[in-house]
Structure 1
Amino acid sequence: MTTNVGILGATGAVGQRLIQLLDPHPEFEITALTASESSAGEDYRDAAKWRIDTPIPDYVAEMEVRATDPTYVPNDVDLLFSSLPSSVGEAVEPKFAEEGYVLSSNSSNFRTDEDVPLTIPEVNADHLDLIEVQRDERGWDGAIVKNPNCSTITMVPPLAALEEAFGLERVDVSTLQAVSGAGYDGVTSMEIIDNAIPHIGGEEEKMETESQKLLGSFDGAAIEWHDVDVSASCNRIPTLDGHLENVWADTSDDVTPAGAAEALREYPSIDLYSSPDQLIRVFEEPDRPQPRLDRNYDNGMGIATGGLKETTHGINFNCLAHNTLRGAAGASILNGELLLESGYI
């Protein structure tokens, strides 16, 4: 038996990735699509400018796009995946939760709210139980669960492995982020070809705060954020997909490259459909991982690491993940699988 799901913001870049990933999913069936008022009433094939390298599923192409309002979403939808712009999500996601819908959202709004779970299932699945606090405080029958920013989600699983083995004191990160992370209209070719842009608005703050929340501990009532000091510098480069990040981690205990590599390799995955068997791959080659070669590790849902070097106070390493798969649509679906497994839908 499959679970009926809907997609809020289905015509955008992440919405299209959600359709691509959900079409063959054994646990979920797409039964509702929403977009802006200008697209409402159209067939999906007419409303969306499809840019994914696989065809629109026939049944999806023929589905009518609905307005993004609880009034127009069928009651038999059990789970909503939200890929709305944050300004829209901030306004409408609570309305859906009030009406009893459970949302697994990629939108950046509410990520750091004290009663909203921000989860990477392999890292902090227990934070999902913050839903109970959220429902009590807000009087909702539904719930909102968030996945992190695409750059945060690349770095945090390796950091979680290092924290567990050696403790974390400070993290510095410099990112080399793909243009797809800005959306189809985010960066023009004239801006990015033969260039790099050393600023991505709001990205650094997201990495610095979301990491502390994700690495924090949940006591059943609230999350105690991790006190690790995180400093980020975010850069846009002319790769299509795959965020590459250079990370310097100061650890509480002494660490060697060999010890860090062992901790990364042995960090456990989780028994969910979309999670890799081995979450973190460690390359021995000094010039890996690379976006073009390694972004699709384990269907784009794995984290690739390499370049481990000992520093004065810890370890330096590189990490890479596919930003629209593991970092966006795939992350939301993985949270949806966790919601289903945990009995929240």
Structure 2
Amino acid sequence: MTTNVGILGATGAVGQRLIQLLDPHPQFEIAAVTASEDSAGKTYREAAKWRIDTPIPQSVADLEVRQTDPTYVPNDVDLLFSSLPSGVGEAVEPKFAEEGYVLSSNSSNFRTDPDVPLTIPEVNPEHLDLIEVQRDERGWDGAIIKNPNCSTITMVPPLAALDDAFGLERVDVSTLQAVSGAGYSGVTSMEIIDNAIPHIGGEEEKMETESKKLLGEFDGAQVRWNNFAAAASCNRIPTLDGHLENVWADTSADVTPEEAAEAMASYPSADDLYSSPEQLIRVFEEPDRPQPRLDRNRDNGMAIAVGGVQETTNGVQFNCLAHNTLRGAAGASILNGELLLEEGHL
């Protein structure tokens, strides 16, 4: 038996990825798609300028696009995936939660709110229990949960492995982020070809704050954020997909590169969730890996690749990579949806 789902912001880049991933999904069936008022009333094929390298699923192509408002979404939709711009999400997502809808959202709004679960199922599934706190405090029948920023989600699983085994004192990260992370119209070709842009607005703050919440402890009432120090420098480079990150992690206990690599390679996946890869973190011995073109699509784009693990004065340095629109966006939202279903929150 499948669960009816809807997609808010279905015509955008992440919305299209959601459709691509959900169409063959064994647990979910797309029953509604929404977009702006200009697109409402059209078929999805008419409204969406499809940019994914596989055809529009026939089951979605002829769906009527609805306005992004609870009035226009069928009551038999049990889960909504939101890929709305953050400003729109901030205004609209609470309206859906008030009407009883459960949202698995990729939008950046509310991620650090104390009663909103920010979740990577392999890392902190227990944070999902914040849903009950959220419902009590806001009086909602529905709920909103979030997946983290696409750059944050790349480094947090390796950091979780190190934190569990050795403790984290400080994390410094420099990113080399793909242009798809800015959306189709986010960076023009004249800006990025033969160039690199050493600033991505708001990205550093997201990495520095979201990572501490994700690696915090839920005590039954609130998440007590991890207190390691964090600093990020985020850069846009002319690769299409795949965020590559250089990470320096200072640990509480002494650690060798071999011990760090083993801790990351053995970090458990979420075996009971359909989209979680068989091996969450693949660690390369080669010093020149991972690379976006070679490693972003491992395990359907849902694995984290790590390489170049080296000893530093206070811990280890390593490189990590994930597919930013799969593991970092659409796939992350779907994985959270699977966790919601598994834990009985739908």
Q: Does the alignment reach a TM-score above 0.5?
A: yes
Distance 1:230 1:71 in 2: 43
User: Which residue is 1:129 aligned to?
Assistant: 129
C-alpha displacement at 1:59, in angstroms?
1.7
- Alignment of 1:323 with 2:324, yes or no, is yes
Distance 1:59 1:222 in 2: 41
User: Which residue is 1:242 aligned to?
Assistant: 242
User: Which residue is 2:306 aligned to?
Assistant: 305
User: Which residue is 1:278 aligned to?
Assistant: 279
Distance 1:58 1:126 in 2: 37
Distance 2:128 2:301 in 1: 24
User: Which residue is 1:109 aligned to?
Assistant: 109
User: Which residue is 2:70 aligned to?
Assistant: 70
TM-score (norm 1): 1.00
User: Which residue is 1:336 aligned to?
Assistant: 337
Distance 1:280 1:299 in 2: 13
C-alpha displacement at 1:159, in angstroms?
0.1
- Alignment of 1:187 with 2:187, yes or no, is yes
Distance 2:253 2:324 in 1: 31
* Pairs within 5 Å for 1:71-110: 71-110=71-110
The residue identity in structure 1 corresponding to 2:248 is: W
User: Which residue is 1:22 aligned to?
Assistant: 22
Distance 1:51 1:265 in 2: 34
The residue identity in structure 2 corresponding to 1:72 is: Y
Paired residues in the alignment total 345
The residue identity in structure 1 corresponding to 2:99 is: E
Distance 1:243 1:230 in 2: 19
The residue identity in structure 2 corresponding to 1:154 is: T
User: Which residue is 2:56 aligned to?
Assistant: 56
Q: Which consecutive residues of structure 1, in runs of 5 or more, have no partner in the other structure? A: none
Distance 1:14 1:57 in 2: 15
C-alpha displacement at 1:180, in angstroms?
0.2
Distance 1:41 1:230 in 2: 46
Partner secondary structure for residue 227 of structure 2: coil
The residue identity in structure 1 corresponding to 2:54 is: T
Q: Deviating runs (4+, > 2 A) in structure 1?
A: none
Q: What value does the CA root-mean-square deviation take over the aligned residues?
A: 0.3
* Pairs within 5 Å for 1:130-149: 130-149=130-149
Distance 1:262 1:123 in 2: 17
User: Which residue is 2:12 aligned to?
Assistant: 12
The residue identity in structure 1 corresponding to 2:318 is: F
Partner secondary structure for residue 136 of structure 1: helix
The residue identity in structure 1 corresponding to 2:293 is: R
What does the per-residue CA deviation read over 1:295-324, in whole Å, with 9 as the maximum and x for residues that have no partner? 001110000000000000000000000000
The residue identity in structure 2 corresponding to 1:97 is: A
The residue identity in structure 2 corresponding to 1:301 is: M
